Amino acid sequence: MTTELEIGLYIFILAGFLGYHVITRVPPLLHTPLMSATNAISGISLIGSLVVAGANYSRLSTVLGFIAVTCSSTNVVGGFLITDRMLKMFKRREEVGIQRRRFKPKLLLAFPVLVVAFLVVMYWIRRSGTDTHSSSAALSVVALRYFYILSAVLFILGLKGLSSPKYARKGMLLAAFGMVMAIAGTLFHPEIVNYRWITLGLAIGSVVGGSMGLRIPMTAVPQRTALSHSLGALAASLIGISEYVRHVAVGLDSVKMTTIGLEVVIGSLTFTGSLMAAGKLQGILPGAPIR
């Protein structure tokens, strides 16, 4: 057993205990927003999608990564937006009026502008020449490490905020900011050399997810959550398939083969199951058995 695998298992076990204690403190009143919020956070599969889409492993891997980035970003953006809409319902009427007066539509342009500016800076750093190659590589490793630590802390604080309706919306804002930090840190990954498909996938997924999160009525939240969950599971399956295709030529040990196999199997089951659930909730598929 390698040292990295041991550390990963320790983190997995500690995360399980921490998640149990945080989630059990969420009151039943917030269980529906919790379901949508955890679904959005599960879109962390977007991190692996970004690496696969931008690493230029092969044409097939790039295509699978692009589709995974689009699906994952749809899940993330739509999940956080619909959760925010649900949590607004717990505010008093006068608080909602004050929030609407303070809201400025131009602020919506801040996120895409920051993302584009960040991608331009990353492209300039990568193409600045061989003299700064070692320094930029060291910067990438350090930034990747601390961005991930910060995003993990923000995810925990975001879920902790759901323990009270008073702080639930602020907690979700922290969780959404943690997702932005995770994406920004991944863009420093040393294996990413091409940002074209990453930018296109993020743009398409943000538009589709934003439309789903802002336009779908609140009565259709269960089927929207199921559909969004299926997209996140599809992204995880595509990442596993890409990793298998990339490593099968050089050989796979039992540990990697087991993890990749579980990723594809569980992701595929979740994708088809969530898709069927969304169809039944929407009334597209009948609830009775099909003969």
pLDDT of residue 108: 47
> What string of DSSP letters covers 10-72?
HHHHHHHHHHHHHHTTS-GGGHHHHHHHHHHHGGGHHHHHHHHHHS-S-HHHHHHHHHHHHHH
Count of H-run helices and E-run strands, the chain: 11, 0
pLDDT of residue 13: 86
pLDDT of residue 96: 47
pLDDT of residue 106: 47
State pTM to two decimals.
0.78
Amino acid at 23: I
Report the SS3 class of residue 271.
helix
Paired tokens of 110: 């801040």
**What DSSP designation does 284 have?**
S
Tally Cβ neighbours within 10 Å of residue 290: 5
pLDDT of residue 48: 87
Contact between residue 63 and residue 53 where contact means Cβ atoms under 8 Å apart? no
Strand intervals (E) in the chain: none
pLDDT of residue 7: 78
How does pLDDT run across 151-201, given as a tens digit for each residue?
888 888 888 888 888 888 888 888 888 888 888 888 878 888 888 899 999
Closest of 132, 114, 232, 127 to residue 184, by C-alpha: 114
pLDDT below 50 — which residues of the chain? 1, 94-109, 129-131
